[in-house]
Amino acid sequence: MIIGIDLGTTNSLAAYMTEDGPKIIPNRLGNNLTPSVVAMDKDGNICVGETAKEMMYADPTCAASVFKRSMGTDKEFYLSGKRFKAEELSSFVLRSLKEDAEALLGEKVEEAVISVPAYFNDFRRKAVKRAGKLAGLNVERIIAEPTAAAMAYGLYKEKRDIKAVVFDLGGGTFDISILMYFAPILEIHAVAGDNFLGGEDFTKVIEEMFLQKCDLPVNIADNADDRFVVDLYKEAERCKRAITDTDRYKMSVKKGDKTYTAEITRTDFEKECAGLYERLKVPIRKALSDAKIKLSEIDKVVPVGGATRMPGIRSFLAKTFNCFPDISINPDEIVAVGAAIQAGMKERNDSVKEVILTDVCPFTLGTEVSVRYSEFKYEDNHYCPIIERNTVIPASRTDEFYTIRDHQTKLDITVLQGESRIASENLTLGHIVVPIPDNKAGEEGVKVTFTYDINSILEVEVTVMSTGKKYREVIKGIETDMTDEEIDKRFEELAYLKLPPREQERNRYIFARAERLFMELVGMDRERLENYVRLFEAALDSGDEGEINYKRSRLEEVMDEFDN
């Protein structure tokens, strides 16, 4: 069985194909969305999702979130003093989704199609594959989130030719894709985006508005371990959801013995978000320009990601594209559904209509060259593109390069990814050093062929023109890339960190939530909560299933009352 997974910044979820179409896989708490939060309890157990989120609210030092933004980098996160990289934290989320799928399907799940932001570079995509391997999943296919959304939306079932925009604003990343459908071909013509722009940035605007209204320093939110900061974030999230449906929301956050309050209106919020809307426009212009399409030619706008629920975003889309976004499919689930359809196609599932899907290379691929700027001088550190961004893949391109010095006996082909004209400002994927015959400058040269496939694998072939000798290498990347042996070793190191059994998760979530509420409440409310927690603990000790369910439901009712 192959499942589709949307590994999100804020929430993650999985889906699979049935005879009746794609279905979302509920997690162990019965919810479709699993928060992309990982925590470690005092016994060294790893918790994922809602339980981890509650633990984070109670103790920020034991949990991590929004780590997807750091995929493919060396940034480290600390859970109760232990260090983890983003891909390792992601592997815990993936493992949790894998276990949920196996529990539902009653069979082993060893392969997955995982979605990534279209604008993820090579290092980030490989980090996602490593996370899958650490979770016990074979990830042969990575699919761009907008592509998955287009498939879920059913663009490939349209009866007419269509040009569409997929506007994907998730918790931490933004992608814009221009797609065209000419039955049975679904073509991606251009992608652009911002890996550091998402719903979390809109939450930050609300935080800053609250701090300003309460005459508190804005940089107070820089201390991630502060209890006030955690409560402020949670209240800002509530405010963001509330002003989606109402015109205003009164925020209230306690700091020490003092409670700060401030009213946030939707109108003021939209004004403060002006800078974020301007940032959204930059990738939109870039994608339309690369696709050579005018705004007036767009037939449909497909919103993806929970952040697109905000009225301001929907208004922005309507004004920008002069048509109302289609909101007929849940924006939180559409990517996972599309990934499941891709998994079904990979399995040759009879319920999936075949479609010829073309993707594009999201970044330019090239090499470093020296450029002559006088008769006797060359300037190094110039970028020479070989495969331009938004080239339909798979693609293969060849360029020729020649020596610039007498008696040169080797050429160093540096493989780069990016858009800067300065070579060193682009991402270095690897090097190939090729020996060449000793000769005069300009009389020895090589043909360099880049071949890039739909799975983001780059093959580089260098042919010495004077001898015909070929050198070939599949670029795996350097710096943050790991060998299979290193991955296996890290897998063993992480093996001691166990996810608690699925059947225990609900109780763990209840206690984590109760702990968080206990820290928030005071006086009689705190005593009342403690009383219900003790009754639930006594029921657990008794082992009476009926008593456990009854006391759990009573405790949940009380906690719902306090949360509301």
Task: Supply the pLDDT for residue 493.
Answer: 63
Does 219 fall in a domain?
no
Please say which residue of 442, 468, 494 terminates a domain: 468
CB within 8 A of 329, min separation 6: which ones? 152, 153, 337
Domain co-membership, 31 together with 77: yes
Domain boundary (359, 383, 402) is at 359
pLDDT band at 535 (very low <50, low <70, confident <90, very high): very high
For residue 488, name the pLDDT band (cuts at 50, 70, 90): low
The answer to whether 13 touches 122, Cβ cutoff 8 Å, is no
Same domain, 463 and 374: yes
Co-location of 93 and 29 in the same domain: yes
Say yes or no: 60 and 171 in one domain. yes
- Give the containing element (helix H, strand E) for 473: strand 470-475
- For 87, phi and psi rounded to 5 degrees? -70, -30
The model's pLDDT over 47-65, given as tens digits with 9 standing for 90+, comes to 999 999 999 988 888 999 9
CATH number of domain containing 428: 2.60.34.10
The 37-40 sheet, strands edge to edge: 46-48, 37-40, 63-65
In this structure, are 428 and 301 located in the same domain?
Answer: no
- Which pLDDT value is given to residue 478? 39
Q: pLDDT tens, 375-406?
A: 778 889 999 999 999 898 888 999 999 999 89
Maximum average pLDDT range among 228-232, 465-469, 477-481, 498-502: 465-469
pLDDT in tens, 553-563: 999 999 999 98
User: What type of residue is 162?
Assistant: I
- Does residue 265 belong to any structural domain of this protein? no
| Amino acid, res. 417 | Q
- Please say whether the dihedral angle defined by the alpha carbons of residues 146, 194, 171 and 455, taken in this order, is positive or negative: positive
Each residue's pLDDT tens digit, 295-348? 889 989 999 998 999 999 999 999 999 989 988 888 999 999 999 998 888 887
Are 460 and 346 part of one and the same domain? no
72-81, 117-126, 195-204: least confidently modelled range: 117-126
Model pLDDT for residues 151-190, shown as the tens digit of each residue: 888 776 667 788 999 999 988 889 999 988 887 778 888 9
**Structural domain contains residue 342:** yes
Q: Cite the active site residues.
A: 6, 68, 145, 168
Residues 191 and 128 in one domain: yes
CA–CA distance, 464 with 107 (Å, rounded to integer): 52
Which parts of 30-153 fold into alpha helices (H)? 50-58, 86-105, 122-134, 145-153
- Give the pLDDT mean for 280-293: 93
pLDDT tens track for 436-458: 999 999 999 999 999 988 767 78
Mean pLDDT rounded to a whole number for the chain? 88
Residue 47 lies in a domain: yes
Q: Domain holding 100: CATH number?
A: 3.30.420.40
What pLDDT, on a 0 to 100 scale, did the predictor assign at position 347?
80
Q: What are phi and psi of 138, to 5 degrees?
A: -90, 120
Domain of residue 383: give its range.
365-468
Asked, for residue 22, whether it belongs to a domain, the answer is yes
Q: What residues form DSSP beta bridges with 412?
A: 433
Q: What is the mean pLDDT of residues 549-554?
A: 93
Q: Which amino acid would we find at residue 121?
A: N
- In-domain check, residue 212: no
| pLDDT (0 to 100) of residue 225 | 55
Whether the CB-CB separation of 13 and 20 falls below 8 Å is answered with no
- Total of domains in the chain: 3
Whether residue 336 is found in the same domain as residue 378? no
155 lies in the same domain as 68? yes
- Buried b / exposed e over 402-419, threshold 16 CB at 10 Å, is ebeeeebeebebbbbbbe
Residues 6+ apart with CB under 8 A from 328: none
Q: Which of 162, 89, 153, 148 is nearest to 114 (CA)?
A: 148
In a domain, 239, yes or no: no
Percentage of residues of the chain with pLDDT beyond 90: 58
pLDDT value at residue 482: 56
Angle at 208 between CA 202 and CA 213, to 5 degrees: 130
The 10 Å CB-count burial string (b at 16+, else e) for 501-532 is eeeebbbbbbbbbbebbbebeeeeeeeebeeb
- The helix/strand/coil state of 324 is coil
Other CB atoms within a 10 A radius of the CB of residue 459 amount to 14
**Assigned domain for 375 exists:** yes
Dist. CA 50–CA 563, nearest whole Å: 15
pLDDT (tens digit per residue) in 234-277: 999 999 999 988 999 999 998 888 999 999 999 999 999 999 99
Same domain as 298, residue 377:
no
Say what the pLDDT of residue 480 is.
40
**Across 523-547, average pLDDT:** 90
Domain boundary among 359, 389, 406: 359
Residues 191 and 337 in one domain: yes
Question: Are 106 and 121 within one domain?
Answer: yes
